[in-house]
Every structure is written in C-alpha cells, then in structure tokens.
Amino acid sequence: MADSTTNQPSRTRDLDKLLLRPGNLVAPIFDPGAQLRDDIGEYARILVVGAGGLGCELLKDLALSGFKNLEVIDMDRIEVTNLNRQFLFRLEDVGKPKAEVAAKRVMERVSGVNIVPHFCRIEDKEIEFYNDFSIIVLGLDSIEARSYINAVACSFLEYDSNDNPIEETVKPMVDGGTEGFKGHARIIMPGSTPCFECTIWLFPPQVKFPLCTLAETPRTPAHCIEYAHLIKWDEVHSGKSFDPDEPEHMKWVYTEAVKRAELFGIQGVTYSLTQGVVKNIIPAIASTNAIVSAACALETLKLVSGCSKTLSNYLTYNGVEGLHVKVTEFVRDKDCLVCGPGVLVELDTTVTLQKFIDILEEHPTLLLSKASVTHRGKNLYMQAPPVLEEMTRSNLKLPLFELMGKVSKDVVHVTGSTTKNDQKTSCLRKLRIAFKGVDGMTDTDMAGGA
C-alpha cells in the first residue's frame, strides 16, 4: 500500500492479470490492455454511499482496485463505538464527519487516488448529482436510504418506444449489506435486473410498533422507549426535531422511558437499550463487512471493465455456522413502479394539481383515489398526516406544470388507493407526465404510452 507511484508493477500486478489478458468468461465490452487499466483510473467515477463499516472497506477496496475518482457521501459523525470495525477512524477522529476522515485516510495510504467527501444527507443532494457517476455503490444499513437511492438511480432510466431500457440511461448500482454474520452483495441494472423495490420482500419488515400500543398498552421496554421517542418528544418539544446523535436528546428519551416503564410496571429500560431501539442498531461484524465489500468492489470492477461476467444477480453470505455462499438469480417485477416505464399521462400546462388528482381518479387504468403526489422527492400534495396536508394544500390550485419546474416531461410518484378485485388497496404509481405543446417533446417521447 506504500507505493510512491501508482503504476509501479507491484501495485497493479494482480489487477493486470485481470485486465491485460483475454479470457473466456469476459463480457462483450472487454478490451484487454494497459489502456483499459489506465482508462478505469482516469474515467470511471464511483460514488460510495455510506462511510460506515461497509463504506470504509469499500473505499479501501475500490482505491486498491485501480479506481482513482471516488466520492463518498455520509451524514454521520464518528462515534467511539465505531472504532472496532470502521478501521479508517482513530480515537482522535471521534466527533468528526465520517466521509471526510475516511476520504483523507484512504488518500494518505493509496497514492494517486482522489476521494471527494460529502458530509450531508443523501436527500440533500440534487438528483442530478447522482447522475454524474458511472456506478453507485451502496454500503448502507437502512432500507429507507437504499430505497431512496434506488428510486433516484431508476429515475434516470428511460425506455424506448418498444419499452426496452435505453442503455445510456441505465445507472448501475452495486449494493452491499451486512447484519451480524450474514450479508449480501447484489447488482442492480435498472430495467434488466430486479431493482431494490422489485425484491423489497427480501427484507423482513423493520420492527415498528402501532402507535396505539405505544400510547395505551405498552408491554415491553421497547414500547416505553418508542413512546418517549415518537410521542412524548413531540408533545413536549413542539417543532424541535429529535436528533439521535445528540446525547442530551437521548438522555431525555431515556428518562421519559423510565418514567413510563415505572407507570406500567415494566422492567428493563436501560440507556443502551434506549440507544439500540431509537437508532435501530444492528450488530456489526468486521469480517462480514470485509467479505461483502470485497464482493462489491470486484463486481464494480467487472461492470466497468468487462473483465468477467458479473454476478447474476444476488449473492448471499452466511457465516453463522461454517461458511455458506450462494448466488440467486432473481427476476424483475415487470410491473415494478420504480424501474418500469410507468403510465403516461398527457396534460395541458394549465392543469392544476387538484385537477390532476381528479384525473387520476377517473383514469381508466389507474382509478387512483385520494392521491398524494411527489415529484423528485418533493411533496407536492400529501393527503396525510394532517400537518403535511396543511403544508401542501396551497399547491392544489397551482398548475402542475409550474410545480414540476416547467419541464416538458418528467416522472411523478403518486400514492393513493385503487380498487382491485372489488377491494380497495393502497398503491404507489410511477407516472410519466408529458405537457402538451411544450418544447423538447418529440414523437418518440410520446410513443409507447398507456
């Protein structure tokens, strides 16, 4: 790792075995040679999402695999409890942003690599930020964050008039995940392999308690903690949002949870349990992170270079008893509303948001009532909760064209309820909105619609 120049043979020796020689199991794009190796360093831009246990490993692995243009995004600061496995961090780094320290440490050790850190929430970045990268690699521990990045990457995907994905708009993702001694690595090619949403059933539902249980009939220490965290906090601190990384906030929740537990005769509320419940902490094992990260980095290299066929398409690792690795080929959900083409709705530029919602209700294939509408992650109108409804109500009388930033066409996401087999079910729909008579709209854009 201590090479002074990047192209010393010792540094690239192993990489050269993959990139300089022809092979039988290579992808059609593979063109072996030193040029390929240099191009990977020069042109491939990789975003690593998350600078935690997996993220640290990913940055190191990718840097050592010849990638030189890396960026990393993470909103967290380093905590003492991270130090056992997030090996890029030291005691003196506690309190500093993970993304910044991780980038600095890898750059110190691997010469020639440039890593740009982003210390912010993934939602804080413009959608277009994510479009700049060749591949997005995810080292996350939350389903919500994965779901968000997945929706963003799939939003770049465009379909041709035959509903085939247009290759240049495919934004590949490599997703790693670990939980204790288990982990997975997967490849998502929006439009051809299943996206995160196509296989959302792979993830067990996160433990969430019904609010009525928390409010009226708590039975466990976790119920008391969530009561203090989700209900009591808002009652007492009107408007001030809870910050799980703020020790004072955590202490307040703990104290309230203890009071609650005493009231109902429940034992077992501790400060560490409070942290565990509130932050949804999943046990982390360094070796699992290392193995899953290695698989992800290799897949990233394969995607960029074509030096081997990629994983098809979901690898699971289980180290609980012995070691078990398996690859499963999942199939796309043809009706997926995130990675599919979406239903086309043509509108006049004067149509208000309210009128649009009415149109959805009468639309022959949608029959969508009580619609809430979001555009590129922004809530245009929300039916619930009441506070969001009130905040977005004034948008109803505005033209959708204006609310969507006067673009000729774009995708909106709509949630609501629809009738299926005489039964009302809630649903999420991706709709392609096209405004009539606006520049930039061509016949091809309009073809293949609903």
Active site residues: 212
- Residue closer to Zn ion (CB basis): 117 or 341: 341
Single-letter code of the amino acid located at 369: S
Longest dimension (CA), the chain: 71
| Gap between the Cα atoms of 135 and 171, Å rounded | 6
Candidates 147, 156, 153; CA nearest to 200 is 147
Structural contact between residues 145 and 73, judged by C-beta atoms closer than 8 angstroms: no
Closest to Zn ion by CB, 198 vs 345, is: 198
Tokens of 408: 């000729």
CB nearest Zn ion: which residue? Answer: 336
Closest CB to Zn ion among residues 333, 358: 333
CB of 136 to Zn ion, least distance (A): 15
Cβ at position 79, least distance to Zn ion in Å: 34
Please identify, using beta-carbon distances, which residue of 63 and 337 lies nearer to Zn ion. Answer: 337
Question: Can you read off the two tokens belonging to residue 62?
Answer: 């990718």
36 binds Zn ion per the rule CB under 5 A: no
Among 72, 136, 339, 371, binds Zn ion (CB under 5 A): 339
Q: Which of 106, 187, 266, 336 is the binder for Zn ion (CB under 5 A)?
A: 336
Span near Zn ion by CB under 5 A; candidates 6-14, 30-38, 94-102, 194-202? 194-202
Q: Which is nearer to Zn ion, 100 or 197 (CB)?
A: 197
First-to-last alpha carbon distance for the chain, in angstroms, is 55
Give the range of 114-122, 129-137, 264-272, 330-338 binding Zn ion by CB under 5 A. 330-338
DSSP β-bridge partners for residue 174: 137, 187
Residue selected from 197, 226, 256, 299 as contacting Zn ion according to rule CB under 5 A? 197
Q: How far is the CB of 143 from Zn ion (least distance, A)?
A: 15
Of 44-52, 170-178, 196-204, 235-243, the window that binds Zn ion (rule: CB under 5 A) is: 196-204
For 414, the enclosing helix (H) or strand (E) is strand 409-420
CB 34 within 8 A of CB 123: no
Q: Is 298 left (phi over 0), alpha (psi -120 to 50) or beta?
A: alpha
Q: For the CB of residue 188, give the shortest distance to Zn ion in the complex, in Å.
A: 9
| Nearest-angstrom CA–CA distance, 130 and 172 | 11
Name the CA dihedral angle for 409, 411, 414, 418, rounded to a multiple of 10 degrees. 80
Cβ at position 313, least distance to Zn ion in Å:
12
Please choose, from the candidates 143, 146, 141, 149, the residue with its C-alpha nearest in 3D space to the C-alpha of residue 82. 141
Question: In the bound complex, what is the minimum distance in angstroms from residue 413's beta carbon to Zn ion?
Answer: 13
Cβ closer to Zn ion: 339 or 412? 339
> DSSP per residue over 95-141, as a string?
TSBHHHHHHHHHHHHSTT-EEEEE-S-GGGS-HHHHHT-SEEEEE-S
Scanning 77-85, 197-205, 350-358, 403-411 for contacts with Zn ion by CB under 5 A, the matching segment is: 197-205
Contact 33, 20 (CB under 8 A): yes
From candidates 46, 78, 157, 195, binder to Zn ion by CB under 5 A: 195
Candidate segments 13-21, 37-45, 306-314, 339-347, binder of Zn ion by CB under 5 A: 339-347
* Contact flag: residue 411 with Zn ion (CB under 5 A): no
Total site size for Zn ion, rule CB under 5 A: 6
Half-sphere exposure of 218 (CA within 13 A, CB side): 24
- Min dist CB 198 to Zn ion, Å, is 3
36 or 338: CB nearest Zn ion: 338
DSSP designation for 399:
B
198 is an interface residue for Zn ion by CB under 5 A: yes
Q: Report the interface residues with Zn ion, using CB under 5 A.
A: 195, 197-198, 336, 338-339
